Amino acid sequence: MKAENEIWQVMSQGEVYQADLPTLKQWIGEGVVLPTDMVRKGGLKWIEAERAPGLRRVFTGEEQPAAFEPALAPAALDAPHAPAAVAQTHAHAAAPHAPARAAAWPQPRAAEQVLGESAPAAWGGQQWGEPELSGAPSLGSACRFHPQQAATLVCRACQATFCRACPNQVSASSVLLCPVCGHFCDPLETIAARASVYERQSSGFGLDDFRQALAYPFSHLASLLGGAALYGLLLLAGLRAQLLAWALLFGCISLVIRRVGYGKLERDFMPDFGDFSFWDDVIVPLFLGLGITIVTVGPTILLVLALLFGWFRGGEQTPFSLSSPTAHATRAITRDDLKALADGGTAEQEAELEKKVQAMTPRGQMAEGVKQSGGEESTALTVVRQLVARPGLVLLLALLALGWAVFYYPMALLVAGWTEDFKAVVNPLVGLDTMRHMGATYFKAFLMYLAVQVMSFFAGVVVALLTAPFQMPFVGNVPGKFIGGAITFYTSLVIACVLGLALFKSADRLGLELV
């Protein structure tokens, strides 16, 4: 009971609110608190809500919070002593949003998305969790019970407006309930911000988003310089430091994809080093990187291994051949066989004659050839040998494997950054179904990804040429490696921002709730 009575603080949209643990869990269940919102208990450090041990089970759906009873809410407090209302994460007077359709998008590691299930707004004939903008209260609305007072709160259900003294407050929390219908009330000031988010989401995905992605890292200049310097220095050290560098880079990419995917471009992309976890910040990114490698480069690696295996074993036996002349002579029909065929012979002679006749057919010769090549060889080995014997087919398969690696890599990165789930990353059906729902948006994002990679390649070539005089034995081109690492850090952030914006603009088709 002591843990339930402890006061938690929630930072949402720049404001801080407090509530006890059951109330906070109820907010999570209602979608008021998102996994990316910052929380803390007592005087502890701020962490993302999804990382709090007491809240993680609620986000993953393993624990269902108990529902509030509006009748238990106390009477309204006096205005001078009442705390500010909670900033709720659903958009209530925003433009109608797309429905949460049945996309095969896996649940993120901490339930990053919440599907809108109950609301009067419609898009494409289905329901979404936001009310219509038309007829919604404005910032100049008056209180329903005190017309002389300007309204500061609005009910998310009946959309009645109130001043601060009217709504009821739930226990020790800052949740305010409508005195008319008992539903949650929200500040009117958040309406304009939410409407702006949905307006940006419905504006389409194009070159403006690409320019925004190129400028995004510079909007957090201190983090860009510090992160690029740290990443470059780690690349100059040994293998362990390079693994940490990769974990740092992927951690930043994951944060950018998730935060930009929610439309929160103002959030920083550097992870919180004050809440460092070796498992979450090092091991998990390494496994996700392994998953990306498996699902993208895996077909190419399998093809190369198959070719090497076939070439190394090719000198022992021929890939495939018909029966040799010697074996053919042993199966030839003799005069005695013809005599037995004409006059009739014993059962053993007729059986032997039938075997010889079967062996003379093309099918029998192929079977004998396989037997001579290696009677105990598996079908897979036979296929490998046939593959080695056909260079044209090898070239075609190599092009297909490389094309798959290039085309699917951005989607693998998107799935890994958003879900942080190894099983979802290595399952190509997840990415392919997401492509289907994103449609042309993913193809645009892929072209932007190629453009960034081309720019990164030419920038790397220029840096290598300019720093070539600094090449030293044993250590190599230290300035070139450092500057190249900084360029990689920047371009990776741009790619992550492009993918996050593509996800943000496709939220209606993927069934993701933005705020």
Rounded percentage of the chain residues whose pLDDT exceeds 90: 26
CA 220 to chain centre: 23
Last residue of a domain, one of 199, 224, 242: 199
Cα(20)–Cα(6) distance, integer angstroms: 6
Residue the block writes with tokens 């007729």: 350
Cα(505)–Cα(440) distance, integer angstroms: 11
Same domain, 374 and 455: no
Q: How many residues does the chain have?
A: 515
Confidence of residue 104 (pLDDT cuts 50, 70, 90): very low
Cα(438)–Cα(507) distance, integer angstroms: 9
Write out the two tokens for 29.
């269940």
Compute the Cα dihedral for 21, 23, 29, 30 and give only its sign. Answer: negative
Among 170-179, 231-240, 358-367, the minimum mean pLDDT is found in 358-367
Please tell me which residue, 83 or 447, carries the higher pLDDT value: 447
In a domain, 1, yes or no: no
The one-letter amino acid code at 339 reads K
pLDDT tens per residue, range 458-468: 999 999 999 99
> What pLDDT is recorded for position 354?
72
pLDDT tens per residue, range 379-429: 656 666 666 667 777 788 889 999 999 999 999 999 998 888 899 999 999
Question: Which residues partner with 17 through β-bridges?
Answer: 10
In a domain, 484, yes or no: yes
Helix (H, G, I), strand (E, B) or coil at 371: helix
Rounded percentage of the chain residues whose pLDDT exceeds 70: 67
Between helix 347-359 and helix 335-343 the angle, nearest 10°, is 120
Cα(202)–Cα(204) distance, integer angstroms: 6
> What pLDDT is recorded for position 117?
36
In a domain, 309, yes or no: no
Evaluate if pTM is beyond 0.85: no
Over 70: is that where the pLDDT of 310 sits? no
> 347 is in which domain, residue-wise?
320-388
Picking from 7, 227, 193, the residue whose alpha carbon sits closest to that of residue 87 is: 193
What is the DSSP secondary structure assignment for residue 513, as one 8-state letter? -
Same domain, 213 and 97: no
CB 130 within 8 A of CB 514: no
CA dihedral 217, 506, 291, 301 (to 10 degrees): -100
Same domain, 428 and 381: no
Among 90-94, 468-472, 502-506, the minimum mean pLDDT is found in 90-94
Last residue of a domain, one of 199, 232, 259: 199
Counted domains in the chain: 3
Same domain, 248 and 375: no
CB 293 within 8 A of CB 246: no
Write out the two tokens for 66.
């108990």
Write out the two tokens for 244.
């940490």
In a domain, 7, yes or no: no
In a domain, 143, yes or no: yes
CB 185 within 8 A of CB 91: no
* Average pLDDT along the chain: 75
Edge-first strand listing for the sheet containing 153-155? 161-162, 153-155, 185-187
The one-letter amino acid code at 397 reads L
